Amino acid sequence: MVSVGVSGQTSARAPDVPSLVRALEDRDWVVQSRALETLRERARTEPSALSALIQALHSRSWMVRHGATRALGELGTAAAPAVPALMDTLKDADWLVRLGAVRALGRLGPTAVPAVGALIQARADADPVVRDAAVAALKDLAAQVPSTRETIQRALDLK
């Protein structure tokens, strides 16, 4: 079977995870985006792909960091191992990366319960879009995880 690789060239096989990680450092955002997409597709079945997405949260490129938050959010509960790293990403210098982390945590359902405190703190983010997204993520978690409802409701009522 012929496939199109991250660089857009045809190859006999899909790129391996180390090649995808290297592609995340490419100067071309299209190459980075394809690498993130391929890692996301593989992350459910290849632990090394999930690990690569988590490591991408520490990239020098804000676009890669933001893309990694989106990819992890799309994985839903399969991205449970990323919760601590996503919590750290709530402190990123770039507001769009923080927004991606908030949204990703909101999509992780019960696996994001450890992040409730960090999401409550994110309601005080410098950026109003991030603050609003934190409230939305908390409401989503409260709806999905009954054991968090009281804590989240109290935090939202204090705002």
Mean pLDDT, all residues of the chain: 91
Neighbouring CB atoms inside 10 A of 58's CB total 13
Rounded distance, CA 52 to CA 57, Å? 9
Find all residues with CB under 8 Å of 61, minimum gap 6, and list them.
24, 25, 32
Mean pLDDT, residues 99-126 taken together: 96
Token output for 151: 């804590």
Q: What is the pLDDT of residue 159?
A: 54
* pLDDT for 18 beyond 70: yes
Q: What is the pLDDT of residue 29?
A: 94
Distance between first and last Cα of the chain = 56
Mean pLDDT, residues 146-153 taken together: 91
The model's pLDDT over 3-15, given as tens digits with 9 standing for 90+, comes to 445 545 544 477 8
Q: Give the distance from CA 114 to its chain's centroid.
A: 15
Q: Are 54 and 80 in contact (CB under 8 A)?
A: no
Half-sphere exposure of 145 (CA within 13 A, CB side): 22
Q: Where are the domains of the chain?
A: 3-158
The model's pLDDT over 46-62, given as tens digits with 9 standing for 90+, comes to 999 999 999 999 999 99
Q: Binning pLDDT at 50, 70 and 90, where does residue 158 land? A: low
The CATH code for residues 3-158 is 1.25.10.10
The model's pLDDT over 56-104, given as tens digits with 9 standing for 90+, comes to 999 999 999 999 999 999 999 999 999 999 999 999 999 999 999 999 9
Mean pLDDT, residues 127-138 taken together: 97
Q: What is the pLDDT of residue 3?
A: 42
Q: Which helix (H) or strand (E) holds 11?
A: strand 10-11
